[in-house]
Each structure stands twice: as C-alpha cells, then as structure tokens.
Chains A and B, each alone.
Chain A
Amino acid sequence: MVPLSYYLVLSGILFACGVTGFLIKRNIITIFMSIELMLNGVNLSFVAFAAQWHALSGQVFVFFVMVVAAAEAAVGLAIIIAVFRTRETLNVDKVDLLKL
C-alpha cells in the first residue's frame, strides 16, 4: 500500500517542474510543454483522490481535463505557427510586441 501523500508529493513535484519550465524556458514550444506537464500533475492528484474515496467521478473529471488540454494544444500550436510565420523566431524574448 502506498500512502496517498506519496501520490500528492509526486503530483506536486511534476507541477513544480512545470512551473519552473514555464519560467526558465525561452522556447515557446517548450513553454507550452511545461503547461502540459502541470496539467498532468493535477490529473495525478485527481485520480489519487478518486482512488482514496472510491469515487469514479474523479476519472471523468480527468477525462474532461484531457479534452480541454487537447483543445488547448491544438489552438496554442496554431498560434505558435502563426507567430513563427510573422516573426521567424520561437524565442519568447523576441516576441514582445502585440502588433505584427
């Protein structure tokens, strides 16, 4: 048996790695991947709590989080393609103006 807190610590570590990557990375695609990492950490805590309380609805919530993440990834990558087309760079330090 594994204590629930171990799962929560693992999910916290994943979330912290995601936040760190979001802050220190300079490539826009890698920043986006860090967001996915954060979502994964949250999903793990959802499933761990669902297992603790034997509540199936936690799994359904994870399913919804995944659907929203997929939609977000599709739109975000399309935005990245549009940014790259106008700026020809993926470095976020060089994408600092809202106008084209």
Chain B
Amino acid sequence: MKLPPGRRRYGSVTENMLHLVLFSVFGLICVAGAINLLVQTHPINSALSLVVVMGSLAVEYLLLGAEFVAAVQVIVYAGAIMVLFVFVIMLLNAGAEERSKGSIVALMLGVPGMLVGSILTAWILVKHSGTQPVALGALPGHPKDIAQLLFHDFLLPFEVTSILVLIAIMGSVVLASRPESIEKTKKEN
C-alpha cells in the first residue's frame, strides 16, 4: 500500500501493545502528579509534582511523534517556568498554606457531581467520539518542516509573540522592583 509522504504505516501488534503500555504508565504518572499537586499543602511540594506532570507529558508527546514539542516542554516548562516558580517560592519563604473552611454542602454535592460528570464525559469520548487510533509516532515532525512553518507561514504570530515576551520582561521588571529603587533611578537621571 502506498502511503502519502510523512504518513506512517500502522505498526505491528507488539509495537501497539508497547505504545498502549507506555501511554498508560506515563498517563498514570501524569494524573498522580496532578492529584498530588492538589493534595499537598506546601507550595514547594506542589511545584515538584508539577515538574513530574510536565516530564511525563513530554514522554506522551514523544509517543505521539512530536519531538520538537517534547524538547520545548522539557526546556521551557520543566526548565525555565518551574525554576521561576521554585525561585519565587524560596524568595518569598512561603510556608504551608492555611486551609479555609469550605461549605460541607458544596463538598457533598460537588464531589459526586464532578465524578458523575467526568465519568459521563469520558464514556462519551471513548465510546462515541468516532475518531481513529493514533499510531506510535504519528506526527511527521522533521525540524526543517517545523522551521518552515514557524519562520515562514506563521512569521507574523511569531514576531507578535516576541513583542509580547519583550513587554512581559519589562512589565515583570517594573512590577517586581521596589518602589524606592524606581524613585532613586528617577532622581539620578
């Protein structure tokens, strides 16, 4: 069978089993990290479980064949953003959070309601979505193609995001600096 360029043939049975096993293992790690983020009271524990979530999501991207996104996920999310979070937690010397008392009625109604709603949604998605299975490494992600998209087809959004990042840098410097130091700089000029 002739396949269109960049489209992979569906793999063998062992490959499919391996794909499913890897997906399940890292999906479970991912969900466990997300739930641990909610359960922990100290923000540093939450931050570290978020790193676990992002790392296992990077593996899920690799399974889908999106090597570029997996690399960016590890470098930008698990690297830069989480370091920023941990840095701020340590800078502010944040302690364990004080839990405020929620209403019991909301707990009694909300938790079963959420469970029923999510199970129903998942069941509809799994049974009636009408989508096809995704093969292992289905995305044809050559770096050259992505670069062509990023720097040619999506050039304007790319430049706009660069301006956005520039504004964000300036904004965070102004917001995080002490008011006295801004006054001092004004006087010096």
Q: Which of A6, A7, A26, A67 contacts B165 (CB 8 A)?
A: A67
Q: Which residues of B contact A27 (CB under 8 A)?
A: 43, 94, 97
Q: Which residues of B contact A25 (CB under 8 A)?
A: 38, 97
Interface string of B70-85 (1 = CB under 8 A from A): 0011001100110011
Asked whether A80 and B92 contact (CB < 8 A) given A14-B30, A60-B149, the answer is yes
B168 at interface (Cβ–Cβ under 8 A)?
yes
Interface string of A21-64 (1 = CB under 8 A from B): 10011110110111011001001100110111010110110111
Q: Are B169 and A81 in contact (CB under 8 A)?
A: no
A96 at interface (Cβ–Cβ under 8 A)?
no
B: contact size bracket: 35 or more
Number of interface residues of A (CB under 8 A): 66
Asked whether A56 and B47 contact (CB < 8 A) given A4-B129, A29-B85, A63-B72, the answer is no
Q: Is the interface of B mostly helix, strand, loop or mixed?
A: helix
Asked whether A69 and B81 contact (CB < 8 A) given A5-B125, A24-B38, A75-B171, the answer is yes
A98 at interface (Cβ–Cβ under 8 A)?
no
Q: Are A70 and B80 in contact (CB under 8 A)?
A: yes
Q: Are B146 and A12 in contact (CB under 8 A)?
A: no
Interface string of B59-79 (1 = CB under 8 A from A): 011011110110011001100
Q: Which residues of B contact A60 (CB under 8 A)?
A: 146, 149-150, 154
B108 at interface (Cβ–Cβ under 8 A)?
no
A63 to chain B, nearest CB (A): 6
Q: Which residues of B contact A73 (CB under 8 A)?
A: 81, 84-85
Using a CB-CB cutoff of 8 Å, which residues 1-35 of chain B contact chain A?
6-7, 10-11, 16, 19-20, 23, 27, 30-31, 34-35
Known: A18-B34, A62-B66, A67-B161; 4 extra A-B contacts, CB below 8 A, are A5-B126, A40-B77, A62-B69, A75-B175
The 9 closest A-B pairs by CB, nearest first: A71-B168, A78-B172, A78-B175, A1-B133, A17-B34, A27-B97, A78-B176, A4-B131, A51-B138
